[in-house]
Structures are given as structure tokens and as C-alpha cells.
Amino acid sequence: MVFRNLRKFWLSLIPPNPKTQSAFLHGLLLLFWIAIGAVLRFTNLDSKPVWADEWSTIVFSLGHSFRTVPLDRVISIDTLLSGMNLDRTTEPTDVIKHLMSESTHPPIYFVLTHLWLKLLSAKSGLVSVGLARSLSALLGVASIPAMFGLGWLVFRSPIDGQMAAALMAVSPYGVYLAQEARHYTLSILWVIASLGCFLVAVRRIQRRIPLPFWLVCVWIIVNSLGIASHYFFVFVLIVQMLILGKFWLSGLQLKLRQKSLNPSLSSSHWLKIYTVIAGTLVGGSIWLSAWLSIPNHKLTEWIYHGNPLGSQFLEPFGRLVVWLITMLFLLPVEGMPLLVTIASGLVLLLVLIWLTPTVIRSLRLQLQKSSTRLMTRVLGEFVLGAIALFLIVTYTTGIDLTLAARYQFVYFPAVLVLMGMVLSQTWQESTAKRSPSVASNHSFFNAKGKRVVAITLIIGLLGGLTVVNNLGYQKADRPDLVVPVMVEAYNLAPKTPVLMANVHKTHEQTGEMMGLAWEFEQIARRLEPLDSKVFLNSFKFLLAHKEEDAEIATQTLQKILTELPRPLELWVVNFSAPTHQLGNYQCEADTNFKRRASGYYYRLYHCLD
């Protein structure tokens, strides 16, 4: 009886008009994808460790500077984490000033985070890591309806929009970026918006219809904000310009063949495109000039590591394939036994082998249809063009853009729209009337129909859950694995003070040590107040700065060791300077505590009287 009444109530909500009914059901389905995406992005948001780049976001967004953290002297946990304190007197101008002088990023996302933290933080003091990540997660949720709009706009079908939204909701890669306190989900929204404007422009160029003035303005604003959110948004614009250039050349060749006196260069529909290009150059020039003025910044040195023209020639290709796969699928591969990792890899390989023929067939069908040929081709060119551009930069400049998965946000939405089109095609095939011969060909291994959609989304959801539960796309730094080892050593000599020494080159190293300090802070919160205070006071930090000569950092550590009372427990953490003379300072290495974890290598020394 209850279920019957619920069914009647549900049916009463559905409008009787077929068109209105369809819109209503599509709206409900979109809300369902948004709900799934929100749960994935906000689950365990504050339980994962904070890594160096996230500390950069938090500190700069709060209007603080890393330069206030003392170097070359012993500091406490409170001093090291002072950049996490909410100061309501700071302004967005402080954010921009410190960011532009100490980092390599444009300011839009950091200013938004500054306002977000001030708005939602209940009181002063250390801000919540979950709150710092929540803006990125919220923008990640916003990308789900944005993908629905892009899919509908491109292929003029709400089913294509639903598939694109569903893929974004469960995408492991999308969940990974959303759970970072970084600017990538905001950049993805700008990519989606810019792609929408670009694809409308392509369609109008093909029909020789000028862009409306409002669309020109929107496109310019989106492109300018995209550059002000992440400098790599420039790659989106470069690929768009290359594709538009191809259309321009095709039009020019046609005009010349027709011996027209009105060349393609001055056609009215192209004049609006020139306006967009000029407006984007003006709007993005301030941030591009700031980017070009970065003089061999040490913060970006890591991207030059590797040898893509030598022994590592094929590695960029392999990484790109992995990043592409994780945009759709991922199973537990990190923090698991080797057999589980191998099994996960084999399952993913089988799924890809099973699905690839369907993807190829659907793309071919869409390229044959006059209604979808243009958009399918242009989206494919955009994805391939972006990947080719990344490889060209990698192999010609030594800047390996494939090292970090997060940089692939440039073509991520386009990949999902294309895959959404594939799922839409297979879904609609299954609902169409089929001949008896086709209907009799019913096998699980025959990747057709709704089965493809269901399995793709289920494995995608498992991938999203894999990221949420920290079994894939783990943080680059894992202080949560380091601190328990240090606490284990501390419990063996609980009354002995502890010093953690690190070689400081940039605020990246400060962030690495902040990660350790934050983990100690979390442990202390579970203790009684008095025990908590004693525990936190037992741990001190040293950031030994160096420029070129590593011996400077060694000498700083040696000087500090002569000043501190004994006994002392010394941890050298990511100490990229000589330590072989520590024995001269009565510091003996403990062979039981020499460890590595992601982002850290560390060793314990016992310094005696």
C-alpha cells in the first residue's frame, strides 16, 4: 500500500505534456548525476594528507607569505603552521602580492579561495583542510551540469548531454582534481565554456554566419579568465587557433578556386573571430607577460627532469595513455598488495579491449552522419591536437608536460564529450528496432547497447570510489606514512626532544615540512590537553637554506647541533646535502629508521652527550 501511494505521488509529479515530461525526466536524471558527483567529491575530503602544492594554495590564499617562516634556525610546529592561520585583516591584494612575487601561478583561484575561507570559517585560527579543498570540490560538481550543457550543445541531443554529465560525475580523474586544493576544477570550467564558444563558432563558420556580439564578448571573457586561472589554458587557445586556421585556409583556397574578388580574409564571419583573438590577447596579456617574466624559477625545475630524447623516449607516450585511461576508468593500484594491483591492471586491460571496437565503430558512424560529422571531427582534432602539442613541447624543449596528470585538464572535457557521444550512440541503438538477426546475436562479449553504457559507468564509479578511498591518485607527498614512523621512534624515548632537519630551496620544501607538522597536529588533537602540549613541544624543525652550495645547509645543521642540548633525536628529511660528518657531532645513524615514502626520504640519528 505504501509503495502504491509512493508510485502515485511520483507519477503525479510528472507533467502530462510529452515535451515537458521529457525535460522533467532529463532534469531529474541530471540531478542524480550531480548528487553522485557531489558524494564522490566531498567524501573523505579532509582525511587525505596535504601535499606541498596544496600548502601553497592555502598559505597564499590566506594572504600570507612563505618568507615569514624563519630559515636556518630551530622553529616550533606553531611557527611552521602560522601560514594556516586565518587573519581577517588580510585582503585580496595581499594574496596577489605574495603570489606574484613568490610563485608561478595566476591569481584568480587564490583570490576566490581567500574569499571562500573568510566567508565560511567560523573563527580565527588554523583553517580546515576540508574547507580549503571544498571550493575545488564544489567547482568539480559544477562541471557536471556544465558537461551536460556542452554535450547537448555539440550534438543537439539531451542524451549526449546526459552521458557526458554521467562520465564527469564518476570520472576518477575528475574526482582526483576536485579533491585537490588547487585551481584545476576552475580551469576545467573555463575549458568547457571556451570549447562551447569555439564549437559554436566552427558551426557558424561552416554556414558563413557571423557570431553574435554577445558570444564574442563571452568568449573573450572566458578566455581571459582561463589564462588568469592557469597559464596552461593557453594550450587550449593554441589548439583552437590551429583548427580555426585550417578552416580559414580551406575557405581561402575555395575563394581562390572560384576567383572571388572578396577573399576569405575579410568575410564577415571571420571578422568576429579576429575580434575574439584580439580581445583574448589583450585580456590575457597581463598574465602572459607575468608568465614570460618568470626567470628559470626553481619551483618548476622538476618539470625538466627526465630524458625524453634518450633512454626515456617512450615514457611520455606511456604516461599520456595512462592519464587518458584514468579519465574514464581506474581500479585499486596504489597502497595495495602487488597481486591486487596486477589484477586491477588486467581487468582494466580487458575492459579496454572489450570497449575499443565499440568506440571506433561509433566514431565512424558519427563521422558518416551529416548532422554530427563536423562536431565529431573537430572534437577529435582538438584532443589529438592538444596531445600532439604536449608531445612537441616535451620533445623539443625538455619541459615534460606528461609528468603530471593534472596538466591534462586541457583536453579532459573534450575526451568526455566524445566518449559521451559513443555511449549515447550505443544507448540509442539498443532502443531502436533491430532485425531478428541482430537481436539473436546476444552475447556478453558483444559490446553493444545499454550493456556498454552500464558497464562503462559502473567501472567509472568504481574508479571514482578508488580515488575517494585513496587507492589511486594518491597525494604526491605522504606525510601520513612518515609521521607514524617518527611517533614510533619518539615512543621509544618519549622525553628526548626531536629535531627534523630539511634542506630548503623554495617554499616547496616548507610545504613538505608543513605536511609533517600538520600530521603531528592531528595526532595531538586526539590527546588530553596537557599531553597534547608536551607532545607538540617535543618536535622542532629546521629549514637549512641553500642556493647552489649544498655544504651551506650542512654547516647550518652542524651549527645548530652544537647549540642544542643532548640527548637529541635528529631526523634528516629530504636532506639533499652531505651528512657523513654527523658522526663528528656524536650523532649516530639508526639503521632501523631509514625509510622512504612518497615525497620523503628520511633517517634517524641519535645525538648523545
> Is the Cα dihedral 583, 584, 585, 586 positive or negative?
positive
Q: Grid cell 596535504 — which residue?
A: 50
* Backbone region of residue 44 per phi and psi (left: phi > 0; alpha: psi in -120 to 50; beta: other values): left
Helix axes 158-170, 129-155, angle to 10 degrees: 160
Burial class (CB in 10 A: 0-12, 13-18, 19+), 324: middle
**How far apart, in whole angstroms, are the C-alpha atoms of residue 216 and residue 278?**
11
What is the pLDDT at residue 103?
87
Whole-angstrom distance, CA of residue 565 vs CA of residue 562: 8
* Closest of 183, 276, 281, 277 to residue 232, by C-alpha: 183
Beta-carbon-side half-sphere exposure of residue 300 (alpha carbons within 13 Å): 13
From 379, 324, 391, select the one nearest 356 (Cα to Cα). Answer: 324
Residue 600 forms beta bridges with which residues?
597
Q: By CB neighbour count within 10 A (0-12 exposed, 13-18 middle, 19+ buried), where does 307 fall?
A: exposed
The torsion angle over the Cα atoms of residues 162, 165, 171 and 176, rounded to 10 degrees, is -170
Q: How far is Cα 27 from Cα 21, in angstroms, rounded to an integer?
A: 10
For residue 82, give the nearest of 134, 136, 124, 110 by alpha carbon: 124
Q: Read off the pTM.
A: 0.92
In one letter, which amino acid is 564?
L
Sign, CA torsion 357/388/189/40 = positive
Amino acid at 372: T
φ, ψ of residue 97 to 5 degrees: the values are -60, -50
Counting residues of the chain whose pLDDT is more than 90, the rounded percentage is 74
189 torsion bin: left (phi>0), alpha (psi -120 to 50), beta (else): alpha
Distance CA(166)–CA(76), nearest Å, equals: 47
Residue 99 DSSP SS3 = helix
Give the whole-angstrom CA distance, residue 41 versus residue 473: 13
Spatial distance between the Cα atoms of 92 and 108, rounded to a whole number of angstroms: 10
Note the helical H segments in 103-183.
108-120, 129-155, 158-170, 172-178
- DSSP reduced 3-state for 109: helix
Tell me the chain's radius of gyration from C-alpha atoms.
28
* Amino acid, single-letter form, for residue 439: A
Say what the pLDDT of residue 268 is.
74
The three-state DSSP-derived secondary structure of 373-435 is HHHHHHHHHHHHHHHHHHHHHHHHHCCCCCCCHHHHHHCHHHHHHHHHHHHHHHHHHHHCCCC
Q: Which residues of 513-539 are buried (b: 16+ CB within 10 A; e: fewer)?
A: bbbbbbbbbbebeeeeeeeeeebbebb
Cell numbers 580523474 correspond to 173
Q: Show Cβ contacts of residue 461 under 8 Å, excluding neighbours closer than 6 positions.
A: 36, 170
pLDDT 10s digits, 417-462: 999 999 999 988 766 545 444 444 445 455 667 889 999 999 999 9
Residues with pLDDT less than 70, the chain:
1-21, 258-266, 292-311, 430-448
The answer to whether 374 and 380 are in contact (CB under 8 A) is no
> In angstroms, rounded to a whole number, what is the distance separating the alpha carbons of residues 201 and 206?
9
